[in-house]
Structure 1
């Protein structure tokens, strides 16, 4: 009964989404306040209905209702409760339901926090959100219904993919979906502004919080996914340039560009057309990522490789929304004329360079991701675009971005001089170069990647701190510290996020340049060396888990004769799906991780063992958390929450 109610709630949500997508839009065109007012209750009712459907599906997973096809395919009675709940979104249909739930949540947030928006703009934003919701609810109901029943339910299910039975993967998808879907708000604001023909500083101020929220969620989701790949897959890496990884990374890059571009629109009323285009493209990349994950056209370790018919449906959604938005963009080109002028050397130019580098970097990732598909379609050739291409093609843009960032942040608006902007940064530049040269002198027989990464990371962090210090103005130390405490949260958030980027740049370079890897066959009782550490394989025993069997090794790590830690890596096998997984054992440290993996027993005796020393691995996750925390600080700033210009009425009605 509960499942049927959930299905019925989903059908009602589709009907409400159609009302939300049409009547308020017509009302805004006719200046009919009653029709425009329908948008708000429709958005709230849609959230309630989809939440009810999601709750019904969750209930079916929790009680192991195997009369539901989706539960049978993705759950099992012996599975721990956390993974029963995570199994709701650990599949195509359930994850799509979570997608539309997130979309409805953002629409409701526009109702709750959009009190300062003009009535026509708000109605149009919610109508566009309703149209997106209707499209994906149709996709869900007509091609991917999560509430299909089985005529003859089995006694037990097929279990969830063992790779997904992990806390990191339980929380990683919801954050990613909130990021993907959050960019729909930027898209809706862009389309609504194009319909009205009004793109100004107030619009930029309105769109920035939604973009920032989406960027924060994407940052957290990508970091969780990277961390999961690091400790779960057993190969010691954190980023494989997998198509699904790239699918989340591309909108993250475009969202970062959009955040900085909106600043120029807000402050100088320039780059309007570019900012609108970024808002459209950002959501376009989100839809592209949805296509990559769900169409089955690209093979990935963690994609929902489904039938191509679903991929065609998503392509239709992508074509309608992107084609419609870009057509509207072309018709409204006259309303996008820039008002503010700026010289070649200025903060506007620095932010434009930031945008170009981020956009081109995203395009490079897109080409590398989609090229194997294009080659197979056009020339029937199987191609693989891997890490060497992405590292070589992507890295130069990030290096240039890191070099420009501190200088651009200190430039004045409209017109600047490089010499004056560099003057406060001379000490930071000298210290960054000194750190890089010191690292180069201390390392032996290694590439320059580590020292260059250290110098770039230090340059970005020191530049962010100097920018923050300069905002405190002139005077004595006591006065400057007092003014620092009174700075807005957005200023502190900017410095924290930029510093997090610098820390991440250094950590990525360090892990690539200075990692130590050892792969060998080891017998029980044998000791081997990894860098400055000795590792003893003390024992290997069979362990029974709740829904798996495991070979668990006991490995003692020592240094200079003193025991450092005992680790217990595992090789698990899940009988229901007959699938092995690797559970790496990691000793997390401030400056390094000790990373041990036990493999299969060998016919000749012993076990395959992988051992790594990963320098500054935790700095990578720390840098990502700093970026997300910086975004949260900015989001809590009152200047972000209250749109500029919303408290004063516009001088004239917007053009239709």
Structure 2
């Protein structure tokens, strides 16, 4: 009965989404108060209905209801209860339901926190999000229904969850990633609503900024978790593949990063309006593109859902409608997007513009490198491969001017400045950068130019961030958003240091080894002590035990090779001794003749700094969101309708804006 309730909830939600997309928008344009007033109740009703649908599917998984086809295909009675619940989004149909539910969550959040917005503006934003919901609800209901029954025959047990997904990291990684993907729909909705209403001003940017930061923070967390999972789960010690599906999440992250910086300029100086609108459209469009790549069946990846091309065609058509409609509206409202703000060649605006150009250039390169092999194959020209060497070389060139602009930017004034005023400050980071460079060259044997340059520039950036915080904090108390920005930049510096050192200083050795034998890797001795058999809830495993020492340090590691019964799949669980300065990593390969095994041992310096950087960037976004300026934003009504708000309120609002701009 519950699956039918879930399916019925989806149908009613589709009807409500159609109403949400039509009536509030008409009400806002025609000034029909009753239609505008429908927006929030429809949003809350949609959220309730989709929560019911999601609960019904979760209940079916928890109670092993194998009469539901999706449950039978992706669960098993031996599966632990927490993996049964995470199996809800473990394949195509359930992950789409999670996508739609998260969209309703974001929409409800916008409705709940928009009490100071003009009712017409709220109605337009919610109507756009209702339109987005229509496409995905139709996709779920008509092509990807998770509530289909197996009646009249249904299996006694299920086929089990994909072993790749039976991991704690995968319980939280997809929801985080989807929160980021779907979160950019809010920035998209604000941009489209502003185009419809013709209100592309500072208040639009100010309202969009915390929502964009939230989405970017979630997406950063999702990418970081995915990188961490790939590192410890797949058994080869890598943290990034440049896989098409990984690139699909990286591209909206690049667009979102550029959008955050562009919104800052639009909010504070009234410039970059065109950039901001186009980046808001691009960030969400690239999220939809990622959804298409994962579900279209046109690529093979450990991350992709096995899906038929018909479903991919549905998303492709929907993607074209969303992008085409938004860009058509942008062209129609082009006269409203013109920025009148003027600034000199050396100013913070120019440096942020340079950063945006570099981010978009990187985005275009990743987009072409990802799609070109797919297009090349689809048009019958054969298979080509664009892999890690290409992306690594391009990234090495791109990050140099990017990190320089990122380092200098906070010291440069808005509108106009002189390099002579800040040149002395920039040398502050030279000393620690030189010390770190010499240390890396002598102790870690890093002699690759781009890697050493990456460490130097990242250290220089970190030193300048700390110096800027100290000097600025002496003059005035710094707002929380300033601390968040600085923490985000420190996170990026840590990320660059981790990548640069790990890429060239990691040492690995693959050997044939039997219990009792040893292998030495980078002054660490790995002694293979024993192999034990173990029975898990739905798998059997071999545990390989190792004693590791380098004279001053000794510890034990356990690596696993798991054999899943239902899927007949083999999975590797690496043994890792983590540390801030190095990871000791060992993975168990195939069993060879006699009692010998193939084993790979790795020493990976600074690899944890990659995820430390991701964590710092997420914390930075949280600090920015918690800034009191975003909790007490002036209402659009007070600023856009001075005759109704009264002259006193209007003047007061303008003074606050002027003071905020001067402070920044």
Does the pair score TM above 0.5?
A: yes
Look up the SS of the partner of 1:612 in the other structure: strand
Aligned to 1:102: 102
Instruction: Provide Cα deviations, 1:262-283, integer angstroms capped at 9, x if missing partner.
Output: 1111111111011100000110
* Structure 2 Cα separation of the partners of residues 101 and 505 of structure 1: 35
Aligned to 2:244: 243
Look up the SS of the partner of 1:465 in the other structure: helix
* Structure 1 Cα separation of the partners of residues 450 and 538 of structure 2: 44
Aligned to 1:478: none
* Structure 1 Cα separation of the partners of residues 643 and 163 of structure 2: 57
* Structure 2 Cα separation of the partners of residues 452 and 615 of structure 1: 17
- 2:562 pairs with 1:549: no
Aligned to 2:8: 8
Displacement, 1:590? 1.8
Aligned to 1:480: none
* Structure 2 Cα separation of the partners of residues 157 and 417 of structure 1: 69
* Structure 1 Cα separation of the partners of residues 393 and 326 of structure 2: 34
Displacement, 1:642? 3.2
Displacement, 1:235? 0.7
Determine if contact 1:96/1:140 at 8 Å carries over to the other structure. yes
Would the alpha carbon gap of residues 445 and 587 (structure 1) be closer, same or farther in structure 2, given more than 3 Å must change? closer
Displacement, 1:435? 2.0
* Structure 2 Cα separation of the partners of residues 78 and 449 of structure 1: 50
Equivalence map 1:201-600=2 (5 Å): 201-444=202-445, 446-474=447-475, 483=476, 486-560=477-551, 564-600=554-590
Determine if contact 1:425/1:466 at 8 Å carries over to the other structure. no
Look up the SS of the partner of 1:472 in the other structure: helix
* Structure 2 Cα separation of the partners of residues 42 and 366 of structure 1: 37
* Structure 2 Cα separation of the partners of residues 34 and 653 of structure 1: 23
Determine if contact 1:121/1:192 at 8 Å carries over to the other structure. yes
Look up the SS of the partner of 2:241 in the other structure: coil
Would the alpha carbon gap of residues 445 and 168 (structure 1) be closer, same or farther in structure 2, given more than 3 Å must change? closer
Would the alpha carbon gap of residues 446 and 436 (structure 1) be closer, same or farther in structure 2, given more than 3 Å must change? closer
Would the alpha carbon gap of residues 653 and 371 (structure 1) be closer, same or farther in structure 2, given more than 3 Å must change? farther
Aligned to 2:23: 23
Aligned to 1:112: 112
Would the alpha carbon gap of residues 216 and 563 (structure 1) be closer, same or farther in structure 2, given more than 3 Å must change? closer
Displacement, 1:605? 4.6
Instruction: Provide Cα deviations, 1:119-177, integer angstroms capped at 9, x if missing partner.
Output: 11110000000010111000000000000000211010000100100001111000000
* Structure 1 Cα separation of the partners of residues 83 and 359 of structure 2: 37
* Structure 2 Cα separation of the partners of residues 619 and 303 of structure 1: 28
Displacement, 1:380? 2.8
Determine if contact 1:550/1:573 at 8 Å carries over to the other structure. yes
Aligned to 2:163: 162
Would the alpha carbon gap of residues 273 and 563 (structure 1) be closer, same or farther in structure 2, given more than 3 Å must change? closer
Would the alpha carbon gap of residues 443 and 162 (structure 1) be closer, same or farther in structure 2, given more than 3 Å must change? closer
Determine if contact 2:412/2:422 at 8 Å carries over to the other structure. yes
Aligned length: 643
* Structure 2 Cα separation of the partners of residues 379 and 353 of structure 1: 39
Aligned to 1:477: none
* Structure 2 Cα separation of the partners of residues 235 and 277 of structure 1: 39
Farther-moved stretch of structure 1 (442-451 vs 131-140): 442-451
Instruction: Provide Cα deviations, 1:361-399, integer angstroms capped at 9, x if missing partner.
Output: 111111111111111123431112110011012232122
Displacement, 1:653? 10
Instruction: Provide Cα deviations, 1:435-493, integer angstroms capped at 9, x if missing partner.
Output: 2234224444742344323212211211211222232245xxxxxxxx5xx42111111
Displacement, 1:645? 5.5
Displacement, 1:651? 4.1
TM-score of the aligned structures, taking structure 2 as reference length: 0.95
* Structure 2 Cα separation of the partners of residues 271 and 356 of structure 1: 12
Aligned to 1:71: 71
TM-score of the aligned structures, taking structure 1 as reference length: 0.96
Look up the SS of the partner of 2:306 in the other structure: coil
Instruction: Provide Cα deviations, 1:190-220, integer angstroms capped at 9, x if missing partner.
Output: 1000101110111110110110000000010
Displacement, 1:650? 1.1
Would the alpha carbon gap of residues 423 and 646 (structure 1) be closer, same or farther in structure 2, given more than 3 Å must change? farther
- 2:600 pairs with 1:610: yes
- Give the CA RMSD over aligned residues: 1.5
Q: Give unpaired runs (5+ residues) of structure 1.
A: 475-482
Determine if contact 1:435/1:451 at 8 Å carries over to the other structure. no
* Structure 1 Cα separation of the partners of residues 282 and 391 of structure 2: 21
Displacement, 1:434? 3.5
Instruction: Provide Cα deviations, 1:537-584, integer angstroms capped at 9, x if missing partner.
Output: 001122111100111101110112x66111110010101000000000
Look up the SS of the partner of 2:636 in the other structure: coil
Determine if contact 2:446/2:505 at 8 Å carries over to the other structure. no
Determine if contact 1:268/1:339 at 8 Å carries over to the other structure. no
Instruction: Provide Cα deviations, 1:29-75, integer angstroms capped at 9, x if missing partner.
Output: 10111101111010110000000000000000000000000000000
Instruction: Provide Cα deviations, 1:386-435, integer angstroms capped at 9, x if missing partner.
Output: 10011012232122211111211110000112222332221113321342
Determine if contact 1:201/1:644 at 8 Å carries over to the other structure. no
Aligned to 1:646: 636
* Structure 1 Cα separation of the partners of residues 569 and 632 of structure 2: 52
Aligned to 2:651: none
Instruction: Provide Cα deviations, 1:587-635, integer angstroms capped at 9, x if missing partner.
Output: 0112111001011111265100000001112221111100000110010
